[in-house]
Chains A and B, each alone.
Chain A
Amino acid sequence: MTLLLGVLEEGLIYAVMALGVYITYKILDFPDLSVDSTFPLGAALTASALLAGVNPALTLFFSFAAGALAGCATGLIHVKLKVRDLLSGIIVMTGLYSLNLRIAGGRANVPVFTQDTIFENPFLADHVPGGLAPYAAVLILLLITAVCKVLLDLYLNTRSGYLLRAVGDNESLVTSLAKDKGTVKIVGLAIANGFSSLAGSVYCQHKGFFEISVGTGTIVIGLASVIIGIQLLCPENGVSFLTRLGLPHVRPTTAVIVGSIVYKACISLAISMGMEANDLKLITSLLFLVILVVSTERRKKVKPHA
């Protein structure tokens, strides 16, 4: 049970970030590495804000805003300065590393064990019945993730959201619609990194400390979640096992959240099976490669229609 809860908690924290990666990787078709630094950005900002006595719930909004700004930076570097997509992300990622340290007060490790967080505060202590306490964290995470997912779904169905989807699909159409594709990309990157930073904030509050290294490999987790989720639950133009089972079709955003949980479950399984710790990264990258290869093969199959 503890393990199951642990996997759910980990999965849900990273799911919010994975929603961001879904925007950049699947919708915008932009390999955005800046999430590796916007995730710790949210964590650093949250640690500092909590120490300064800011309301824990408010830190979520601040983190989203800060992440969105960083996403704008990536976008502006790419669009206005015409730097290649991958490199713009790397530039922001590198720069933010220093900035994150500054935000955290020059410290690479900031504990907030004694501060109130969204998971531990007087309100929850008073209002959550004892029997529910072990599940409180999962429920809170579920709420945050669900809100993010629903908001993203709603957004993607607005006119602005249509444009965002169009720019990843066919840039020249966006130009034809008399819209600046660059601006649309910047908006997309802002939302994506906002989510990543928000996830970082949640991470920091859940773990009780900020650590500069938390961002390492965020993009890998994000990509893995997106690819696993989409391949599993709603492959493009394909039939998922859900439909084969006669279950209803799910939205890609739901699939991404499930993907994140499945990914974390795989890691957890590897750990509890006593996988040699040193091999864990190799296993992750192999898993990743396999999924990527499988998914490109599927894409090839549907491409002749394109």
Chain B
Amino acid sequence: MLKLVNINKYYNAGTVNEMCLFQDFNLSVEEGQFVSVVGSNGSGKTSMLNIICGSIPVDSGAIYIGNENITHMPEFRRQRRIGRVYQNPAMGTCPHMTILENMALADNKGKPFNLRRGTNKKRVDYYRENLKALGLGLEDKLHVKVGVLSGGQRQAMALLMSTMTPIEFLILDEHTAALDPKTAEIIMELTGKVVKEKKLTTIMVTHNLRYAVEYGDRLLMMHQGQAVIDQAGEKKAAIRIEDLLERFNAISIECGN
């Protein structure tokens, strides 16, 4: 279980530009839950992910995984248990390394990066299988540098790589936003499949309301650092895109837009 307790986060604290992002923000995500998060720009969606992953520090409050307080754990240590896919497909792979080398890197997560051979020859078939499951023909391009692949191919690899080793949480940060609609669809389907297969606790930030409605068993709508909608189970299943749009408009009027 992942828990955020009384999180406070200000940007530019102590200056005229001070901006309150979170004030006593609380969230707890049950094990195995797939949470979709929507919200306007600046509502705190991505900041929430960054706080969970440790990319940005909090001003006060605590973050727990189970009973362990990870508030002050450095980002890279938290990643032991977390897989993260970013909006930018370039963030999840190494462009100057080959597909095979990238797979080997990901496969070694959690193990020591010592002086043993970088690519374990015995694992090559396993990588090929995994790539084949993506259905993008990458299994025949093992020695091609990832930099020449398309955004969609790279994002598929990034997803594969981040979920290759045993992890507890999958963090998806608008991971389909930079892709064309067709590719986005493929990646999203893939995501659903992986999450289901590996039973991962997942938090997905998206601007695509349809994905938010179709995928996941809990839905959050963020606004000014608060969850204005938080529905799970049956109630989540009943939410339609129109409901979300309506709420969006209401918020916009409140803000005077």
Contacts of B233 in A (CB 8 A): none
Query: Shortest CB–CB separation between residue A298 and chain B, in angstroms?
Result: 14
Question: Known: A177-B106, A237-B147. Is A158-B162 also a contact (CB below 8 A)?
Answer: no
CA distance A40 to B87 in the complex (A): 46
CA distance A170 to B102 in the complex (A): 11
Chain B residue at minimal CB-CB distance from A169: B94
**B45 in the interface (beta carbon within 8 A):** no
**A166 in the interface (beta carbon within 8 A):** yes
CA distance A236 to B118 in the complex (A): 22
Judging by beta carbons under 8 Å apart, are A160 and B91 in contact? Answer: no
Interface size on B (CB < 8 Å)?
38
Judging by beta carbons under 8 Å apart, are B92 and A173 in contact? Answer: yes
Judging by beta carbons under 8 Å apart, are A176 and B96 in contact? Answer: no
Contacts of A160 in B (CB 8 A): 113-115
Judging by beta carbons under 8 Å apart, are A237 and B148 in contact? Answer: yes
Judging by beta carbons under 8 Å apart, are B117 and A157 in contact? Answer: yes
Q: Which of A170, A174, A237 has the most CB of B within 10 A?
A: A170
Contacts of B96 in A (CB 8 A): 165, 169, 236
Question: Known: A158-B117, A162-B104, A175-B76. Is A170-B93 also a contact (CB below 8 A)?
Answer: yes
Query: Shortest CB–CB separation between residue B145 and chain A, in angstroms?
Result: 7
CA distance A162 to B113 in the complex (A): 8
Contacts of A173 in B (CB 8 A): 91-94, 105
Interface flags, B178-190, vs A, CB<8A=1, else 0: 0000000000000
Query: Shortest CB–CB separation between residue A181 and chain B, in angstroms?
Result: 7
Contacts of A180 in B (CB 8 A): 74, 76
Q: Which of A267-306 contact B (CB under 8 A)?
A: 302, 305-306
Binds A, one of B77-85, B193-201, B209-217, B219-227: B77-85
CA distance A160 to B95 in the complex (A): 18
**B108 in the interface (beta carbon within 8 A):** yes
**A172 in the interface (beta carbon within 8 A):** yes
Interface size bracket, A side: 20 to 34
Query: Shortest CB–CB separation between residue A285 and chain B, in angstroms?
Result: 28
Task: Say whether chain A's binding surface is mostly helix, strand, loop, or mixed.
Answer: helix
CA distance A162 to B83 in the complex (A): 19
**A245 in the interface (beta carbon within 8 A):** no
CA distance A173 to B91 in the complex (A): 7
**A7 in the interface (beta carbon within 8 A):** no
Q: Which of B99-115 contact A (CB under 8 A)?
A: 101, 104-106, 108-115
Query: Shortest CB–CB separation between residue B202 and chain A, in angstroms?
Result: 16
CA distance A180 to B91 in the complex (A): 16
Q: Which of A126-177 contact B (CB under 8 A)?
A: 155, 157-163, 165-166, 169-170, 172-177
CA distance A175 to B82 in the complex (A): 11
CA distance A175 to B91 in the complex (A): 11
CA distance A158 to B109 in the complex (A): 14
Question: Known: A159-B118, A305-B147. Is A165-B95 also a contact (CB below 8 A)?
Answer: no
Contacts of A306 in B (CB 8 A): 90, 95, 147
CA distance A155 to B90 in the complex (A): 25
Query: Shortest CB–CB separation between residue A252 and chain B, in angstroms?
Result: 10
Question: Known: A175-B76, A305-B147, A306-B147. Is A162-B95 also a contact (CB below 8 A)?
Answer: no
Judging by beta carbons under 8 Å apart, are B76 and A181 in contact? Answer: yes
Judging by beta carbons under 8 Å apart, are B77 and A178 in contact? Answer: yes
Q: Which of B43-102 contact A (CB under 8 A)?
A: 74-77, 79-80, 83-84, 86, 90-97, 101
Contacts of B162 in A (CB 8 A): 176
Query: Shortest CB–CB separation between residue B119 and chain A, in angstroms?
Result: 8
Question: Known: A173-B92, A173-B105. Is A158-B115 also a contact (CB below 8 A)?
Answer: yes
Judging by beta carbons under 8 Å apart, are B94 and A166 in contact? Answer: yes
Q: Which of A159, A165, A302 has the most CB of B within 10 A?
A: A159
Contacts of B95 in A (CB 8 A): 169-170, 306
CA distance A59 to B77 in the complex (A): 39
Chain A residue at minimal CB-CB distance from B120: A159
- Partner among B79, B86, B97, B149 whose Cβ is within 8 Å of the Cβ of A178: B79
A-B contact pairs, 27 of them (CB 8 A): A158-B114, A159-B108, A159-B116, A159-B117, A160-B113, A162-B118, A165-B96, A165-B101, A169-B95, A169-B97, A170-B95, A173-B92, A173-B94, A174-B76, A175-B75, A175-B79, A176-B79, A176-B84, A177-B79, A177-B105, A177-B109, A178-B76, A178-B77, A178-B80, A178-B109, A179-B113, A237-B147
New A-B contacts (7) at CB < 8 Å, excluding given A155-B115, A166-B94: A157-B118, A158-B115, A162-B104, A163-B105, A165-B94, A176-B109, A306-B147
Name the 4 nearest CB pairs between A and B, nearest first: A169-B94, A162-B118, A178-B80, A178-B79
Residues on B facing A (Cβ under 8 Å): 74-77, 79-80, 83-84, 86, 90-97, 101, 104-106, 108-119, 145, 147-149, 162
